[in-house]
Chains A and B, each alone.
Chain A
Amino acid sequence: MNHRDHEKLLKEILPPEDMADYRKSSLEYGLAGLRRERRRRHIVRFSAVAVVLLGLSLGILFS
């Protein structure tokens, strides 16, 4: 038996019976996290642009 055989065997043996459900929910959980993170980055970018524009507007207004 080589180490890849062992890996194969461990993959069959170690996961508990409900592993398929867990794997699925883990993927969904990860994807939800990915979407949240994407939204957060959009908000950060949008806020940064808004702050710059606001600063420029105020600068022009009071100059």
Chain B
Amino acid sequence: MQSTATNLLTALNRAPIVAEIPANNSAAHIATLTAGIRAGNEDAFRTFHQLYFDRLYQFLLVVARGKEDEARDALQETLLRVIRYPRKFDNEEAFWNWLKVVARNAARDAGRKRHRYLNLLQKFALHSETHFPNAPTNPSLGDLLEESLEELPADDRQLIEAKYLEGASVRELAANTGLTEKAVESLLLRLRQRIREFILKKLRAK
């Protein structure tokens, strides 16, 4: 179990996402993609957005310690910085490392702005404990995912795994569990919300 968490960290933080990039040649694809963004090509930006949106969001959610609004603002700022200061890369790992630096800086700058604003508010005797901490160096989404899954009853966990990892359809799950399809959908929604809340709560508490 621990090793899967470690693997997730690797996936989020270090490993290239070769499998998500068209299989022709990832290095060539990254070179074309980054050159396209640099040239202001909209299709290149669309592809970049499609490939990296989720990954950047997850990364920033950890950096912002589960504060979704801050992660969203930082993501928008990251996209603008990628457009404003584009660079050409020949391999995915270097590109992702650069993106992480850009994203972290965007989050930190937003945090500083917020911090200055809060200081100003405090001068006027308004109280706020909100602050933007420095980005953690080791995202722990993997551990939290593992923890949240362990919290679930075995049946629920199996249902989540069957649906999202094994790719079972709602109809198949309904047949296996003896529930109606609607009940399975509703149960999956509740379970997703439960896991998500668990992860965000833990991130905010850190």
Interface of B is mostly: helix
Interface check A15, CB cutoff 8 A: yes
Docked-complex contact B76 and A26, CB < 8 angstroms: yes
Chain B 140-171 interface residues, beta-carbon cutoff 8 Å to A: 141-142, 145, 160-161, 164-165
Interface check B129, CB cutoff 8 A: no
Instruction: Report the Cα distance A14→B66, complex, angstroms.
Output: 10
Chain B 11-25 interface residues, beta-carbon cutoff 8 Å to A: 11-12, 15, 19
Interface check A41, CB cutoff 8 A: yes
Interface check B72, CB cutoff 8 A: yes
Interface check A63, CB cutoff 8 A: no
Interface check B40, CB cutoff 8 A: yes
Which among B53-61, B96-104, B130-138 touches the partner chain?
B53-61
In the complex, which of the residues B4, B42, B72, B164 contacts A31, with contact meaning CB atoms closer than 8 Å?
Answer: B42
Docked-complex contact A2 and B164, CB < 8 angstroms: no
Interface size bracket, A side: 20 to 34
Docked-complex contact B199 and A3, CB < 8 angstroms: no
Docked-complex contact B42 and A1, CB < 8 angstroms: no
* Chain B residues within 8 Å of A10, by CB: 8, 58, 141, 145
* Chain B residues within 8 Å of A16, by CB: 68, 196
* Chain A residues within 8 Å of B15, by CB: 3
* Chain B residues within 8 Å of A62, by CB: none
Nearest chain B CB to A25's CB is how many angstroms away?
A: 9
- Binary interface profile of B, 69-95, with partner A (CB < 8 Å = 1, else 0)? 000100110011001100000000000
Q: List 28 A-B contacts (CB under 8 A).
A: A1-B161, A1-B165, A3-B8, A3-B15, A3-B142, A6-B5, A6-B11, A6-B142, A8-B165, A9-B160, A10-B141, A11-B54, A14-B199, A16-B196, A26-B53, A29-B76, A30-B79, A30-B83, A31-B46, A33-B79, A33-B80, A33-B83, A34-B42, A34-B45, A35-B42, A37-B84, A38-B40, A41-B40
Known A-B contacts: A1-B165, A3-B4. Give 6 more (CB < 8 A): A4-B19, A27-B46, A29-B76, A30-B45, A30-B80, A34-B45
- Hey, which bits of chain A sit against chain B, CB under 8 A? 1-16, 22-23, 26-27, 29-31, 33-35, 37-38, 41
